[in-house]
Amino acid sequence: MPSLIDDVLNGQPPDREMEVKDQIQAVNTWSPTVYRIETIRSVSATGIYIVERNRNPVLVGVTWRASIGARWGCRVDTFRELKIPAPTRRLYTIRVGTITGTGPWRYRRRRDRYESVERVIVRYLLRVRRYGLTNVRGRRPFTVEAPGIEIVNAGARPRYLPGVIRRAPGQQQEAAALPKAMRPCPRCGHRRAPGAPCACRGHA
């Protein structure tokens, strides 16, 4: 999963919040296939992925160099070596999508495009939808520059993502740092105030 360890291995400084470009136009085309840990190796494309636990997002990541399947291959082996039981592994599913830049944005280098899309999705899920993601980066606010941010979620988009994430120039993109009083629901990961019921269907 994307972490500070990834930065160290890739030769990047640990504290790096300049990965979001202030104007982003892209289309995420989501696959209708919902993968499990055991089947994610079959994904041969690069792009964005969202790891879910009980169908709720817990981690957002991208891979712009190796395929998603290759990136996850060693992790799958590690899960098996740690003897993580199958019932626990079955709690997790993985949604994947391809990323295509639009307009002038398509000329940006791939890493910039992918990481910027990832960080906008992280901010949206943390701040707007209040999911308790485990991502450690992409939490600082920034001011959107012209022509603005427009990320279209096409294809079989996950239910927790809107069709379009759009922010106008001059608008502050969501700061993902939540109040310390907010805590994740132990059953689904949604953030809620201490003692407050979770808004998830089925166990509100």
Mean pLDDT of 115-140: 86
Q: What's the rounded Cα separation, in Å, for the pair 151 and 124? A: 11
Average pLDDT, the chain: 78
Instruction: Give the pLDDT band of residue 177 (cuts 50, 70, 90).
Output: very low
pLDDT of residue 18: 44
Residues 139-170 pLDDT 10s: 777 778 778 889 999 999 999 999 999 888 87
Q: What's the rounded Cα separation, in Å, for the pair 161 and 178? A: 19
Q: Given phi > 0 = left and psi -120 to 50 = alpha, else beta, which region is 83?
A: left
- State the pTM of this model: 0.74
Q: For residues 121 and 48, is the Cβ–Cβ distance under 8 A?
A: yes
